[in-house]
A and B are shown apart, each in its own frame.
Chain A
């Protein structure tokens, strides 16, 4: 027999089981939305990986799309910036060293190539004081025709400012002359 409720002020109700099922169904759209967003996230990260494939491959980055990725990338930027600064300083030090080495070696070569005893010239180094940018030479010279120290002064003028001071220049025996020269040199 059919059960009938003929009461005219009856309240429409549903069973608890049906109510729970209904509520679970109500949650499904948000679960779907969440899943959709996860796919969207993966898709976006995939596009980023394609756009920056070169650097990701070079540094073997593992981009998963989490917050940690940003920290990792920022740490790497800091690391490479620090390494760059260290290398820049090292490069500058090497270049400064090579510049100084080049200048001083060139000056010393120009000076000492002239100290060779011949029949006509004999230079004797009496005093020498050399700093990185200046040099002072005291030379005695015994010569016949022309002073070799003048050639040295000429050569040094290509490398810096030179002041030549002939303290004396006198005749000695056998038709030779003797002089004492002070050369002050300041590099460019």
Chain B
């Protein structure tokens, strides 16, 4: 019959007890502590990031309430004016009378999503433009309009 000395068995038993205790508990305890501490530290940071994102989002939503869709443009909407658009810039070039010039200005002034950032107007010497006598007068105009398109 296979037997083992009691003394050796006791020594092996104690060795297994301590080794398994050390190997199974200490690393596990350290891991648990590390994970808990990290989660505990990271959650407030996450809350802070989330809150400031939400605040910024609300602020933008408030601003967007006063804005509308950018002005729509189509060829021929102003007599004698060529209209082109490049990104958020609209260019208008042509020969206009006072009435058409005022119409153009008003169209872009009234839309909250647009403003005129450049005007170059030169009157025709023989037939100078006057806002108050709109039909007879003419001028070369070059207007650049900046528009704001809201990204969703």
**Residues of A in contact with B (beta carbons under 8 Å apart):** 11-16, 19, 22-23, 26-27, 29-31, 33-34, 37, 40-41, 44-45, 48, 51-52, 54-56, 58-59, 63, 65-67, 69-70, 73-74, 76-77, 80-81, 83-84, 87-88, 90-91, 94-95, 97-98, 100-101, 104-105, 108-109, 112, 115-117, 122-132, 140
> Quick check: A41 and B118 within 8 Å, CB to CB?
no
Among A23, A59, A76, A128, chain B packs the most CB atoms within 10 A around the CB of A128
Partner of A88 from the list B17, B28, B56, B133 (CB cut-off 8 Å) is B56
B86 is an interface residue with CB less than 8 A from chain A: no
**Which chain B residue lies CB-closest to A45?**
B36
New contact pairs (20) apart from A26-B14, A26-B16, A104-B115, CB-CB < 8 Å: A12-B6, A14-B3, A26-B17, A30-B17, A33-B21, A34-B25, A41-B35, A70-B42, A73-B46, A84-B52, A84-B53, A87-B57, A90-B60, A90-B151, A94-B64, A95-B63, A98-B112, A112-B102, A126-B128, A130-B119
**Which chain A residue lies CB-closest to B12?**
A23
Nearest first, the 9 A-B pairs at minimum CB distance are A117-B132, A115-B131, A101-B115, A30-B20, A80-B49, A13-B3, A128-B121, A130-B119, A55-B47
> Quick check: B13 and A129 within 8 Å, CB to CB?
no
> Quick check: B114 and A101 within 8 Å, CB to CB?
yes
> Quick check: B53 and A87 within 8 Å, CB to CB?
yes
Chain A residues contacting B72 (CB-CB under 8 Å) are: none
Residues A77 and B25 in contact in the complex (CB < 8 Å), given A88-B56, A100-B146: no
Among A40, A80, A117, A122, chain B packs the most CB atoms within 10 A around the CB of A80
State how many angstroms separate the Cβ of B94 from the closest Cβ of chain A: 15
> Quick check: B119 and A22 within 8 Å, CB to CB?
no
Interface range on chain B (Cβ under 8 Å from partner):
35 or more
**Residues of B in contact with A (beta carbons under 8 Å apart):** 1-7, 9, 12-14, 16-17, 20-21, 23-25, 28-29, 32, 35-36, 38-40, 42-47, 49-50, 52-53, 56-57, 59-60, 63-64, 67, 102, 105, 109, 112, 114-123, 128-133, 137, 139, 146, 148, 150-151
CA distance A91 to B128 in the complex (A): 43
State how many angstroms separate the Cβ of A78 from the closest Cβ of chain B: 9
CA distance A112 to B21 in the complex (A): 90
**Which chain B residue lies CB-closest to A78?**
B49
Residues A76 and B46 in contact in the complex (CB < 8 Å), given A87-B60, A122-B132: yes
CA distance A43 to B101 in the complex (A): 75
CA distance A88 to B14 in the complex (A): 64
CA distance A91 to B121 in the complex (A): 33
**Which chain A residue lies CB-closest to B125?**
A126
Residues A112 and B105 in contact in the complex (CB < 8 Å), given A70-B42, A122-B132: yes
**Which chain B residue lies CB-closest to A14?**
B6
Residues A67 and B35 in contact in the complex (CB < 8 Å), given A27-B20, A90-B151, A125-B123: yes
